[in-house]
Structure 1
Amino acid sequence: MSAVEQAEGASRSLGQLFASATAEMSALVHDEIALAKAELREDVKRVGLGSGAIVGAVTLAFFALPMFSMAAAYGIHALGLGLAWSFLIVGGAYVLIALVLGVFARAKFKKVKKPERSIASAKQTAAVLQSVKPHPRPLESSTTDDLKV
């Protein structure tokens, strides 16, 4: 720090110092909120992918299963297998597809976690603020007379 910067710092009034501290605390709080939002956005993306996989599995099972099951079963039956075995093979294939999509969704949901960086930053800020103690100021006689109304 140069001598000019020291002189400027020493000549700042209490109001200027308080305003500066308030601005810095406000910036710190805004930065912590921005960090929390960024971490939550990542988790929302993961939840979205997992939910999309679940919706895909349910949609496949609900709409496509009856149509393709009949077509596939009768196609296998046309190859010479019994009708019951044909339907069993088709049903088993759809169950395997649904299981694969379920495992994918579960893997995406497991990656969702707490916003650890935001929590650590907030705890650090709280620890710093707890150690700060106000300095008592003596009351002036004019303010004491005003308070005795």
Structure 2
Amino acid sequence: MSTQDEITDDPTIGRLVADATRDLSALVQAQIELAKAELRFSVKAGLLGTALFLVAGFIGLLVIILLSIAAAFFLTMTGLHPAWCFLIVSGAYVLLAALLVLVGVNRVKKIRAPEQSIETAKQIPAALKGQHSAS
């Protein structure tokens, strides 16, 4: 084998860069396809889970309605007129809803911006440029 054959058999830098670029492109495309497949599976599972929760919530709502009617009829056993019994049960739900609204408003008022994350994110461009910020 001559020296000329050895030189032509060795890959050139251009060929190495082209091969690396091709391989990197193939790797990125494979990763994207894998991510798509995983997301499709996750979306299907999530949609099925959501549908089951919605059906369970609807059944729960029906149960609450039936239990409310039963509670009102139990109150009629005390001698109250059925209209008053249903008003009492409805009033209890109004009070419960008002309490839940108050608690919800209180929780929403506690929402704050993620200030530390925002500050860290602002430092990323300078860090990528090799600059250090004095924080």
TM-score, length of structure 1 as denominator length: 0.39
TM-score, length of structure 2 as denominator length: 0.42
Larger RCO, structures 1/2 (Cα 8 Å, 6+ apart): 1
